[in-house]
């Protein structure tokens, strides 16, 4: 029974890593679609959403079967619980990628404009945090996971500055409000992706050390981001 459980856990890991790779690729494509004003590429991201949703459901069902059939303990139990949570977070990252792609398609129908902030740089930072969090899961590395927590604060600061820049730009050029709000929305999606990278990293710390890290780093974050839900 123990060998069978280990076999099923390895299968679960492979499915999880395949989903992570798919979602990371979709977010990268979404960012490229908004920077290149590429409607077709954005549609690829939107079309991939159902595949991501189906994979998330399949992984959740696998986790529940393992819990019911094998009653795992210790590290195996922590891993399955962590996967249940991380699986949902990864699917939500995919949803935010779709939202960015939808903003890209809307911008494709409007005249180009000079963006008053570095959305590409923010995207690179958020993607880097996501990649680090996923890598820490694959390597079971709590130290790497902790580095993501401080990086999330940097993305929050970038978004706060972006919010201020959009407010100034709208006052200066009210006719650009629709385009500016699309870019701001894309920035908000990136800020949320960084939050999910933080969630994943917290779960990696729990998986490796059995320590619940959730909420602790928030005490150091200061004010919440503009537009953030309470």
Per-residue pLDDT of 172-209, as tens digits, reads 888 889 999 999 999 999 999 999 999 999 989 988 88
**Contact between residue 131 and residue 200 where contact means Cβ atoms under 8 Å apart:** no
Per-residue pLDDT of 64-86, as tens digits, reads 999 998 887 777 888 888 899 99
Is it the case that residue 145 has pLDDT exceeding 80?
yes
Question: What per-residue confidence (pLDDT) applies to 229?
Answer: 45
Q: How far apart are CA 135 and CA 145, in angstroms?
A: 9
Is it the case that residue 63 has pLDDT exceeding 70?
yes
Asked: is 2-220 a CATH 3.20.20.70 domain? The reply is no
Q: How far apart are CA 176 and CA 106, in angstroms?
A: 13
Q: How far apart are CA 208 and CA 133, in angstroms?
A: 13
């Amino acid at each position: 029974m123990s060998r069978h459980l280990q076999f099923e856990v390895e299968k679960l890991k492979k499915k999880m890593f395949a989903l992570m790779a798919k979602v990371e690729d979709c977010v990268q494509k979404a960012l490229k679609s908004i920077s290149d004003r590429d409607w077709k590429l954005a549609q690829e991201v939107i079309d991939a959403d159902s595949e991501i949703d189906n994979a998330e459901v399949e992984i959740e069902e696998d986790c529940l079967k393992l819990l019911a059939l094998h009653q795992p303990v210790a590290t195996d139990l922590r891993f399955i619980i962590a996967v249940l949570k991380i699986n949902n977070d990864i699917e939500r990252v995919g949803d935010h990628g779709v939202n960015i792609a939808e903003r890209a398609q809307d911008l494709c129908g409007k005249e180009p404009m000079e963006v008053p902030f570095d959305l590409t740089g923010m995207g690179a930072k958020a993607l880097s945090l996501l990649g680090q969090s996923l890598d820490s899961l694959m390597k079971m590395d709590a130290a790497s996971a902790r580095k993501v927590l401080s990086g999330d604060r940097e993305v929050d600061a970038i978004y706060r500055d972006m919010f201020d820049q959009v407010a100034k730009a709208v006052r200066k050029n009210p006719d650009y409000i629709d385009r500016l709000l699309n870019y701001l929305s894309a920035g908000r999606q990136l800020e949320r992706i960084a939050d999910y990278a933080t969630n994943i990293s917290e779960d990696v710390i729990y998986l490796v050390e059995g320590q619940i890290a959730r909420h602790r780093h928030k005490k150091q974050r200061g004010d919440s981001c503009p537009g953030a839900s309470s």
